Amino acid sequence: MKKWHWALRILTKRMWFRAGLFCLFAIGLALASAFIGHAISYEFATKVGARSVDSILNVLASSMLAVTTFSLTAMVSAYSGATSNITPRAVQLLVEDTTAQNALATFLGSFLFAIVGIIALSTGFYGESGRVILLGGTILVIASIVITFLRWIEHITRFGRVNDTIARVEMAAAKAAQAVGRPLRFGPRQRRSVPDGATLIHLEDIGRITHVDIALLQEVADDLDCQIVLSALPGVMADPARMVAWSNTQIDAKQIERLQSAFTVAPDRAFDNDPRFGLVVLSEIASRALSPAVNDPGTAISVIEAGTRVLSSMLAIQEKNADDDTGRVIVPSPSFPELLEDFYRPIARDGAGLIEVAIRLQKSLAALAEADPAARGDCANAAADAMTRARAAMTAEADRALLDRIHRRYWP
């Protein structure tokens, strides 16, 4: 995905974007009635009797202001609840919720439509024909309000709840894995040696890499007839001392700037191109649920199942794209052991004393090992680590014996 395409996608997710578009549409609809009113005959206008549009707009303006305030209050409460009870990293997914944005945009736009209509009516901007058009626009706005409000009532009952947030994070992680589309790398990390005479690429900004424009890197590689190797994927912390890429030939300062512009750095991580971040957030939800203040192992088990589905989908991408050709730009594969570490280790640490969580961890890792035989060694290591932590934390010998039987069943 090109950088401008990705930036446009991020822009459309902003809360003000949909609200601003609907407000412009509402103002345009209110003012257009005066300019296209000549298309309605005067006789038809007098028969319709559009004089009642004044009172309708007054009711619409007063009610939509209250509904907009109520919607904002509900959304802020959901954000606050997710921050304090789930994890602050999941709030950005709630902010990007399209149903909530559409509801806020519809209510705010309807309020502006009514205000503009009332002002125009008070100044005599509309004739009799223009009032008919305004009445038709008002009916259209009311219909959109009713449909949006019904959807909003149904949506707000689960908006920001734990299960809803887990599902959002799981979906975001799965989409990020599909967007990356790279085969996974199993086993210990093997660093690629940088040849002599290579040009090292560093970034001046400090922050998290959120996007890499592979198409731009490919253009530079084609122009210079060279090979570019990435050493940092989205989610990595960038700083002037960290090498993010290197070229196998010497290149000038202008081309280095082009390569640097392919990397987008932000203060915080983003879900779009970083499946590891989705797994980290899922593990944070489970850790919060396993804290003594919450003590909710059921939520931790739900998180384990969600993470298992995400990792399984990534293993499926491994099989699908095993022979993918990356051309002149070499993109490193995500490390499967690091993914397991990001997701399972915090849960194994915080839920070590709970037999139900420990058993679910063993079964989850066994399911991943069955999904791809190449992943069995890494899954066995993660299962052994979880087993060691659980045996050290459990106080009942019966729980230890049960966990031993489960572990031997899947890892003989």
Using DSSP, state whether 204 is helix, strand or coil. coil
- Phi, psi angles (nearest 5°) of residue 308: -65, -40
Cα dihedral 112/113/114/115 (nearest 10): 50
Q: What is the pLDDT of residue 323?
A: 38
Of the chain, the end-to-end C-alpha distance in Å amounts to 45
Residues 135 and 10 both lie in one domain: yes
Q: Does residue 191 lie in a domain region? A: no
Q: What is the pLDDT of residue 322?
A: 39
What the block records as the tokens of 310 is 């995400």
Residues 54 and 104 both lie in one domain: yes
d(Cα 121, Cα 354) in Å, to the nearest integer?
A: 68
d(Cα 91, Cα 113) in Å, to the nearest integer?
A: 31
Residues 141 and 12 both lie in one domain: yes
**Residue count (the chain):** 412
The 10 Å Cβ neighbour count of residue 42 is 12
Closest CA to 221 of 329, 306, 317: 329
Question: SS3 helix, strand, coil % of the chain, rounded to 5?
Answer: 70, 5, 25
d(Cα 89, Cα 83) in Å, to the nearest integer?
A: 8
Residue where one domain finishes, among candidates 160, 190, 217:
160
Number of domains in the chain: 3
Query: pTM value?
Result: 0.84
Residues 226 and 354 both lie in one domain: no
Q: What is the pLDDT of residue 6?
A: 64
Specify whether the CB–CB gap between 169 and 213 falls below 8 A. Answer: no
Report strand pairing: 329-330 vs 228-230.
parallel
Q: What is the 3-state secondary structure (H, E, C) of 37-97?
A: HHHCCHHHHHHHCHHHHHHHHHHHHHHHHHHHHHHHHHHHHHHHHHHHHCCHHHHHHHHCC
Residues 152 and 248 both lie in one domain: no
Point out which residues pair with 243 in neighbouring strands.
202
Q: What is the pLDDT of residue 404?
A: 93
Q: Does residue 376 lie in a domain region? A: yes
- Phi, psi angles (nearest 5°) of residue 316: -65, -35
Using the structure block, give the residue that is written with the tokens 């122009």. 223
What the block records as the tokens of 144 is 């959109």
Residues 115 and 205 both lie in one domain: no
Residues 24 and 154 both lie in one domain: yes
Residues 285 and 378 both lie in one domain: yes
Residue where one domain finishes, among candidates 113, 134, 160:
160
Residues 140 and 11 both lie in one domain: yes
The 10 Å Cβ neighbour count of residue 43 is 9
**Structural domain that includes position 236:** 199-266
Residues 8 and 126 both lie in one domain: yes
What the block records as the tokens of 249 is 């030939």
Q: Does residue 139 lie in a domain region? A: yes
Using DSSP, state whether 114 is helix, strand or coil. helix
Residues 7 and 154 both lie in one domain: yes
Q: Does residue 165 lie in a domain region? A: no
pLDDT digits (tens, 9 = 90+) for 224-265: 888 888 888 899 999 999 999 988 888 888 888 888 988 999
CATH code: domain of residue 244: 3.90.1170.30
Q: Does residue 152 lie in a domain region? A: yes
Residues 242 and 301 both lie in one domain: no
Q: What is the pLDDT of residue 21?
A: 82
Cα dihedral 269/275/280/284 (nearest 10): 90
d(Cα 393, Cα 157) in Å, to the nearest integer?
A: 38
Q: Does residue 260 lie in a domain region? A: yes
8-state DSSP, 306: H
8-state DSSP, 335: B
Specify whether the CB–CB gap between 250 and 210 falls below 8 A. Answer: no
Q: What is the pLDDT of residue 398?
A: 94
Residue where one domain finishes, among candidates 266, 290, 316:
266
Mean pLDDT by runs of 10 across the 412 residues of the chain is: 68 77 79 61 51 80 88 89 89 90 89 85 69 80 91 89 93 90 83 79 91 88 86 90 88 87 90 92 94 91 96 77 57 90 95 93 95 92 94 92 93 86
Closest CA to 123 of 25, 6, 30: 30
Q: Does residue 185 lie in a domain region? A: no
Q: Does residue 176 lie in a domain region? A: no
